[in-house]
Each structure stands twice: as C-alpha cells, then as structure tokens.
Structure 1
Amino acid sequence: MKTLIKTYALALLLMVAFIPQATAQTRRSTNNKTTTVKRTTVNRVPSNRVVYRTPTRKVVSVRTVPNNRVLIRHNGQNYYYANNRYYTQSRGHYIVIQPRIGFRINILPPNFVRIHFNNFNYFYVDGIFYLQSNNEYEVVEPEVGTVVYELPQDHEKVVIDGLTYYEYANVLYEKIQINGTRAYEVIGVIDME
C-alpha cells in the first residue's frame, strides 16, 4: 500500500512539475512587434558589385503604344507613358523601360498606395515611387527604411557581397517580417555607371 501511495505521489509530483513548462512553451505573445533582421547597411551600391540571379533580362517591345499615351520629355529625349508603363522608341518599336528619376505624370494610376515615411508622402505604384510636385507626380528614389508590402512581378533577385536582396527600378529591398506579414524594406539604390 505504501508503495502504491508513493507511486501515485511521484506521478502527481512529475505531472505538476512538467505541466507549467508545457503551457509556458505553448503560450503566444500578444504584443505585435516588427521583426527586422538587419544584415548590412547598403545605401548606394555601384552596379559592378551587383550580381543578378537571372543574368539576362527579357526586353519587351511593342509596335505601337496605346492611343491614350502621354509624351514625356526628359533630358532632351522623348518617352511615352501609357497604361502605367513607360516606353522609349528604338528602331521602329517601343521598348518598355523603367522610368528615370525625374519623370513626371499628371495623373496616378488608380491602384496606387500611399506610404508615409520620414515626412514624405510617397505614392507607390507597381514598384515606382512618386512624390507630388504642384499638379504633377514625379518619379523619385525612396528613402532607406521605406517599407512596401508588394514588389512588382518582374522584380529580380540580386546578390551583393554574398547576401541576397531584391531589386526593381534600381531600388534594393530586403525581405522583412512586420507583425507576421512579409514586407520589403528599401535598403539602397544601385548607381548605374
């Protein structure tokens, strides 16, 4: 009988000892924190240090640009803007390009997202950042630390000093987590030579 009581007491003692540990391991934190792992400070990177995972980029060209196009004159050259795409003319075709810093348009596409960062109110559309300037919207480089939740479909993976980042329109992003949601933080810009 004493052995039976000792066995039950020991079993009860073990259960009491392990139950708080088990519940402590399954508790979930209720405070929402931004989890950002900083790898390195990048800021401006010369293009010769950037290695693209896909070495050749597909060039998209069309014979005509839609009739609703807008002519953009920038640094003495003509560019065209239609359906949220930018074009340049070459050998009788129109080639889709990423807009240059300083391009201006009058109306933003309807799918823009407002991003407020460091006293700037950016308008973000398909990987391009705009700032309002009078009655126009100008293509700008975002500040380091600006966060977006989506990258355009044709963004590219790049490697700089052995670390993988994402690039679109010469802007470099690092994948981060904010409240359990995937996001991308601007960490720098590629300087084209």
Structure 2
Amino acid sequence: MKMIVNKLLTIGRVSIAYLLIVSICNISGAFAQRRGGHMSRPGSSGSTSRTPNNNRANRPNTGGINRPNNTANNNGNRINNNNSGNRNNGNRTNINSGNTNVNINVNNSRNTVVRQNNYRPYTRPPYVYGGRSFYSYHPYYYHPYRPFYWGPAYHPWGFFIAALATTAIIVTVANQQYHYDQGVYYTQSNGGYTVVQAPVGAVVTTLPSSAQTVVVTGSTTNNYYYGGTFYEKSSKGYTVVPPTAGSIVTSLPEGGKETKVGDVTYVKVGETYYQPIQQDGKDVYEVVKVDEVKQ
C-alpha cells in the first residue's frame, strides 16, 4: 500500500513539472513571437525600420522649409504685388496735394479759342513765322514769365484736393458738372477733385474781389479776369468767355509755357498765345490773334 502511494506522488510531481515546462515554453514562444512581429511592422511609429515615406525630412509637401508651393515669394507676396500701395490708373502716387506742379492730363481745349475784336482793326502788320500770322496791337517787349499767385483759395490747373470747401457750388455746362469755389473750377476725380480750366459758358453769380477789369478797346463790353479766366457780365451773373484778341492782363497763371516762335518768345497758356509787352512802364501781356497764312 505504501508503495502504491509513493508511485502516485511520483506521477503527480512529474505531471506538475511537465505542465510547468509546457507553460513556460508557451509563454516564451508567445513573447518571442510578439517581439518579432513588433520589429517587422513597416508602418510603426516607434520602429527603426520605418519606411522613407514617413520620414519628415523627405516629405516634399510638409510644413518644413523645403515647401516649394508655400514660400513667401509666390502670389501672396505683397512685395511683388503690383497693386500694393501703387494706384496706376489715375496714378495717385504722383499727385501731391501740396505740390502745384502735379502732372495730370486735363482737357483745357474748351477755353482756348481767341475771340476777334471786331471793334478795333489791327494797324500793325502781323509777325509771320512757320505758316502762321501773329497779330498784336502793341510792340513786342520781352520780360520773363513769372506765374502769379492769387491767394490761398486759388489753385492752378491740375491741382488735386481730397475735399471741397462748403462754399463750393455745382455749375453745369453741356451736361457736364463742375464744382466752382472762389474763382476755381474742379471736376471730380478718383478720390477727390482736380482743378481744370474754366469751361466756356459756365455762369457764376460772384467773382473773387481781386478779379481784374479788362477794357475791350472800341467795345462797350468789359471783360473780367481772374486766375487765367475771362468773364463777361450779364443779367444772370458772370459768364466764362474765350479771351478777346488784344486784351491786356497784368499776370498769367501757373501752367503757362514760354514758346519760341522765330525771334519772339510768347507765353502759351492752354492754346492761347500771350505776347509780353510794356504798358505805362509795366510788364504786361496781350492776347494774340493767330491765323493760318493763306496760300
């Protein structure tokens, strides 16, 4: 009986040992298989065998410094943007509201035709040069052209301002609106107002106090002159008219240009020629009548 018990104990020990060995082997194999599978996974973030496509240094469209399509020198670059601060249409870059020499193309042709003085024939022969005859009542006397300044309310043609004074009124000529203020005419332009030559036919009720009376010799009508513009008084007020040939003014506005015609230097304002002369010992200008020489 004792021998049987000893055999059973021996068999039990062997079975337990066998089970322990099998369990250990299974655990070791599973652990080894798990580790081996981990190292061979191609897309694992912690693996040293990660494929090149997951390497940030080689990704062409990532947020790194090698992005070819998102650099600061492409379409979003304000430095190369042709519209950054430079308005080319109307070109505000070259307009300085404090500079009376701004370069603006203004059509002044509506006030450049000289009216002939039908009341006073010319007694002096014209100066003929270049196929044209230049008529004047007084002899030529050169003196340098010096633009005249009519005061703080006056601005020359081409001058730009951002806003008008509250005293400005609207004047309509040939279905076009102008703004008039203290002897100066404006048209609305991009971002403000530009001074233009007074349009012939415009009627205003008042003139600046410094307007000059111009006597038209032989006529009962007197003209008025201010800032390069001639007016005639009527029942409605003062109407802008072309200059009358032979009219004499003491000053010319800014924007004129000394123009050499043969041996005579005229001052051309718009398309009107003014001849430098002397009257009563003073330097003044006479409006010249210009005709084409008839062949």
| Pair in the same fold by TM > 0.5 | yes
Give the structure 2 partner of residue 9 of structure 1: none
Cα shift at 1:142: 2.0
Give the superposition deviation at 1:162. Answer: 6.9
Q: CA RMSD in A?
A: 2.7
Q: Is the 8 A contact 1:170 1:189 kept in 2?
A: no
1:107 aligns with 2:206: yes
For 2:177, which of 56, 78, 82 is the aligned residue?
78
Q: Give the greater-gyration-radius structure (CA).
A: 2
Which one of 127, 147, 156 corresponds to residue 39 of structure 1? 127
What is the number of residues matched between the two proteins?
142
Gapped regions of structure 1 (runs ≥ 5): 1-35, 44-56
Matched residue of 1:42: which SS? strand
1:116-174 CA distance string (max 9 Å, x none): 11312011112211001213101111221111122224432234467421123533200
* Alignment partner, residue 144 of structure 1: 245
SS at match of 1:99: coil
Partner of 2:27: none
| Correspondent of 1:66 among 162, 165, 170 | 165
The 1:162/1:92 distance shift into structure 2, 3 A limit, reads farther
Query: In structure 2, what is the Cα distance between the partners aligned to 1:165 and 1:159?
Result: 6
Q: Deviations over 1:37-80 (max 9, x none)?
A: 9634337xxxxxxxxxxxxx983211111111010111111110
Report the AA paired with residue 134 of structure 2.
V
Instruction: Give the C-alpha shift of residue 188 in structure 1.
Output: 3.3
- Which amino acid is the alignment partner of residue 133 of structure 1? S
Q: Is the 8 A contact 1:166 1:174 kept in 2?
A: yes
TM-score by length of 2: 0.43
**CA distance in 2: counterparts of 1:42 and 1:101, whole angstroms:** 23
Measure, in 2, the Cα distance between the counterparts of 1:89 and 1:80: 8
Give 1 or 2: higher strand fraction.
1
Q: Distance in 2 between matches of 1:148 and 1:91?
A: 34
Instruction: Provide the residue aligned with 1:180 in structure 2.
Output: 281
**TM-score, normalising length: structure 1:** 0.64
Larger RCO (CA within 8 A; separation ≥ 6): 1
Structure 2 residue identity aligned to 1:42? F
| 8 Å contact from structure 1 (residues 37, 176) kept in 2 | no
Contact 1:130/1:138, CA 8 A, preserved across alignment: yes
In structure 2, do the counterparts of structure 1 residues 123 and 58 end up closer, same or farther at CA, with 3 Å as the change threshold?
Answer: closer
* Aligned residues of 1:173 and 1:188 also touching (Cα < 8 A): no
Distance 2:222 2:179 in 1: 25
Could you list the per-position Cα deviations for residues 6-38 of structure 1 after superposition, in whole angstroms to 9, with x for gaps in the alignment? xxxxxxxxxxxxxxxxxxxxxxxxxxxxxx996
What secondary structure sits across from 2:127 in the alignment?
coil
In 1, Cα distance between equivalents of 2:250 and 2:170: 31
